A and B are shown apart, each in its own frame.
Chain A
Amino acid sequence: MRRLYREGAVVSLMDPMDLADDDHVAVVSNMGAPLVGQERLTDPRTIARAVTMMEEYLGRQFRAIMSLEIGGGNAIQPFMAAALLGRPVVDADCMGRAFPEAQMTSFAIHDLPMFPLTLVDVRDNAVVVARAASWKWMERLSRTACVAVGSIAATCKAPRTGREVKECGILYSTTKAIRLGRTVQAARRAHEDPVAALVDSEHGRLLFTGKIADVARRTTEGFLRGTATVDGLGAFRGGRFELAFQNEFAVGWLDGTPCVTTPDLICVLDSVSGDAIGTETLRYGQRVSVVALPAPPVLLTPKGLEHVGPRAFGYDLDFTSVFA
């Protein structure tokens, strides 16, 4: 993306409220294993092709492009497609974060249709999933195609109307992500504590600070599941915080008692730099701060909790927000 900008690309960010009700919006994401992405580098042309293929299939043009999830590389994918296709990016996504599964979106919570989906790879392979019986089936069908082309593929998800985005999307999450980054950078420049700055500006809560004492990971059903243990430092000395994750952090326990659960956003940050540490990059000895950020309201509804609450991740716990 930096390269595109250097070559003069300009992408404009669009206020979702400027969408007409009958505009069509492309929802894009790269699907696959993060590790494969380290060798088969992301290519803007592939994600752009997923979008144009969907347009050909539907026989109409998209007004704008938006992100499936505002976490990791997928926050950047719509910008790459937009740069090549000359379309704006909508300031929204449908997770307000990153979640591992297709049905964990605000669109799924609102029972919007889950098809069609286009999937393309870097050669000249392309797949259209024309229909799927459920969100889970859509996940299964598209995941199978993705694995076949090398566990990395660009996808354009079920298209949305302007009205659907405005009513069911998580709005202004792109600007929020940019703001988070700026807060951390500004704090670093001023030699202030970036974690404290983040908690302050986003009305989050610092749950724990310490050092990673253990990480156990395992692959089950195609996901990275596991636990991490953090031994307290500073004000938290003597305490112990445990985290459970499925690609993303799902539940946190403080000294054995459940303390925070999804959909409250559980972030593990490098205590010094404020950089986010993902579940694949956790390492013994890292000095980390565990921070909770408030979840978008739609995820907190009874229907939302069915999709993304602790039970959706297999934990027999009731959701109690740390912000309640």
Chain B
Amino acid sequence: MSDTSRTDRPTVERRSPDKPSRVLRPTVERRSPDKPSRVLRPTVERRSPGKPSRVLRPTVERRSPAKALRRRIGIDVGGTNTDAVLLDGTRVVHAVKTPTTADVTTGITRALHDLLTDRTVTASHAADAGVTAVMIGTTHFTNAVVQRRDLTQVAAIRIGLPASASLPPFVDWPEDLAALVRGEVIMVEGGHEYDGRPIVPLDERGLRDAARRLRGRELTSAAVTSVFSPLNAECERRAAAILHEECPELAVTQSHELGRIGLLERENAALLNAALVDLARRTTRAFAEALRASGLAAPLYLTQNDGTVMLAATAEAFPVYSFASGPTNSMRGAAFLSGLADAIVIDVGGTTTDIGSLRHGFPREANNVVEVGGVRTLFRMPDLLSLGLGGGSLVQGDPPLVGPASVGYRLVEQGRVFGGATLTATDIAVAAGLVDLGDRRRVADLPVHHVKAAVARMHAAIEEGVDRMKTDARDEPLVAVGGGSFLVPGRLAGISEVVHVPHREVANAVGAAIAQVSGEVDQIFQNLSREEALAQARQIAEQRAVAAGAAAESLAVVEREDLPLAYLPGNSLRVRVRVVGDL
């Protein structure tokens, strides 16, 4: 096996080493000569009657296979800036950066306007610039949880009594967040064993009584979690049906659609999701409205934590899936812009620096429990290290300390080189000659030793952070992206080369534009050989990916993990498989 194809986990099979071509290189027309069929296959074949599941694909058909990847818009709606890029095939045609607005729509509309009216874009195309898909990534939903705003009260419904009664819903939540979200807690009998047997029969009457109570309380959102629902979702489905009968307007989140095994973490995901569905619906519709106002008819997708996308109409029911899409998009964008599939990525923003590890073109995921706003979850999230260091970090004291406080988006007013009075990391970089920004004369008075000490401190922090995220002893390349990437030193221990790429300041939006779709399964298989279990799991994952819009012939397994279960009879194997494919 080549260096870059080492598997990332025990018995996890990632992309095979003979397909390095799946990471797209910018300005490279075709991925690889040995797999032309993937790109050049005629359209008719793609619609063969033997693939009925493909009805779920985006409603706008591709005009020709060669355009499958052409003319996509990627948008990143961040807390400070809304970035947009137009990709033609693998070429970045144009990129713009505009301030995010409170209503989101205005910012996106402005970004799209700037993008679509640029001469390079309109030169040879119609009003919609021939765009076939628009992908939006946003940190809106994470921010709502972290900042405790725009959250909806939720009815938490747990099915599993008499089991798990000791730890009711919200038990491990921060009290301030629980107080905002906890509308009602209902626990009823039901649920399943690990092998699919019922624990006790579902208490339908109790559920119906509870549903009637909810009607009186005028709650709009509910989260239903049943014990072992990832294996048998019958109880959750039945509960949702009863709730809909009694409260037709209620939005019901079912935990088995969100999570893996791990009751509390899956329930937390369902509760957070239920708390965000109203906001998600509003936001998604604002996105769609912005598209319509810009004259774009292309389908709208939202990017997910794992670097893939979902149709906006589907995604608005699952806001938790886009929690970590910001860092994921920047890492995927870095992979795309650099042409590297395996590398460390550092994204230096205005206030923080995120460091992650790319494996086969995707971010390496965090091992275990991920906390969002203080709530334990099991989301698929990139394994990231965040440092309080960015272009706007304050530089104070002697010897100088850098960050974690930052002027953030006010850098362009308050930074010294921009005419302000605050000494920032950017000012130090200008004084040290690392970048040419603003008015260099305004930092000419800084003592050389002071500048050197501040630069040394920043470089040391970055070097240590990069080392902590490295999981391979060998030297690896480092891709530097983000507006503050000039802070990254040219040489680091354990790094073979520091790669600066064009359009690095909009890597996020580029990552959104190139997103794929995925399907995942995480399930216990019994009385099957390991090979049979893996094959079954792969089939389920592929069906799910196709249902999400993937082209069946483009599917590839990106993760495969199997874990024999101690103590369980019947040769039990827990299998997790994830496949991705092109839209």
A40 touches B171 (CB 8 A): no
B10 touches A217 (CB 8 A): yes
B194 touches A39 (CB 8 A): yes
Picked from B9, B166, B199, B261, the residue with its CB within 8 Å of the CB of A284 is: B9
A33 touches B568 (CB 8 A): yes
Nearest CB of A to B381, in Å: 15
Q: Which residues of B contact A123 (CB under 8 A)?
A: 162, 199-200
Interface stretch, picked from B117-125, B328-336, B559-567, is: B559-567
B10 touches A43 (CB 8 A): no
Interface stretch, picked from B238-246, B397-405, B569-577, is: B569-577
Q: Is A22 an interface residue (CB 8 A)?
A: no
Q: Which residues of B contact A136 (CB under 8 A)?
A: none
- Using known A-B contacts A41-B163, A45-B166, A233-B473, determine if residue A286 contacts B367 with beta carbons closer than 8 Å: yes
| Mask of A141-159 contacts with B, CB within 8 angstroms, 1/0 | 0010011001100000000
A285 touches B9 (CB 8 A): yes
Interface size on B, residues (CB 8 A): 44
Q: Which partner residue on chain A sits nearest B262 by CB separation? A: A38
Interface stretch, picked from A67-75, A193-201, A218-226, A298-306, is: A218-226
Which B residues, 142 to 200, have Cβ-Cβ distances below 8 Å to chain A? 160, 162-167, 171, 193-194, 197, 199-200
Interface stretch, picked from A57-65, A174-182, A208-216, is: A208-216
Q: Is B12 an interface residue (CB 8 A)?
A: yes
B8 touches A40 (CB 8 A): no
A219 touches B166 (CB 8 A): no
- Using known A-B contacts A35-B194, A36-B194, determine if residue A237 contacts B163 with beta carbons closer than 8 Å: no
A233 to B473, CA, bound (A): 7
Interface stretch, picked from A104-112, A184-192, A258-266, A275-283, is: A275-283
B262 touches A283 (CB 8 A): no
A39 touches B262 (CB 8 A): yes
Q: Which residues of A contact B396 (CB under 8 A)?
A: none
A122 to B471, CA, bound (A): 43
| Mask of A23-50 contacts with B, CB within 8 angstroms, 1/0 | 0000000001111101111111100000
Q: Which residues of B contact A39 (CB under 8 A)?
A: 164, 194, 227-228, 261-263
Which A residues, 225 to 240, have Cβ-Cβ distances below 8 Å to chain B? 228, 231, 233, 237
Nearest CB of B to A224, in Å: 4
Q: Which residues of A contact B431 (CB under 8 A)?
A: none
Q: Is A272 an interface residue (CB 8 A)?
A: yes
Q: Is B7 an interface residue (CB 8 A)?
A: yes
A231 touches B171 (CB 8 A): no
Picked from A43, A45, A216, the residue with its CB within 8 Å of the CB of B11 is: A216
A219 touches B572 (CB 8 A): yes
Nearest CB of A to B165, in Å: 6
Instruction: Tell which of A41, A228, A233 has the most Cβ of chain B within 10 Å.
Output: A41
A282 touches B10 (CB 8 A): yes
Instruction: Tell which of A123, A222, A223, A284 has the most Cβ of chain B within 10 Å.
Output: A284
A282 to B11, CA, bound (A): 12
A147 touches B262 (CB 8 A): no
Q: Which residues of A contact B160 (CB under 8 A)?
A: 40
Q: Is B368 an interface residue (CB 8 A)?
A: yes
Q: Which residues of A contact B569 (CB under 8 A)?
A: 147, 222
Chain B residues within CB distance 8 Å of chain A: 7-12, 160, 162-167, 171, 193-194, 197, 199-200, 227-228, 261-264, 364, 367-368, 468, 471-473, 524, 563-569, 571-574
21 sample A-B contacts, Cβ–Cβ < 8 Å, listed by A number: A35-B565, A36-B193, A39-B194, A39-B227, A39-B261, A40-B163, A41-B164, A43-B163, A43-B164, A44-B166, A122-B199, A146-B567, A211-B471, A215-B11, A217-B10, A217-B563, A218-B564, A223-B567, A281-B367, A284-B12, A287-B471
Q: Told that A41-B164, A280-B563, A284-B12 touch, could you supply 13 new A-B pairs with CB distance under 8 A?
A: A35-B194, A38-B263, A40-B227, A123-B162, A147-B568, A151-B194, A217-B11, A217-B563, A219-B566, A219-B568, A223-B566, A228-B10, A284-B8
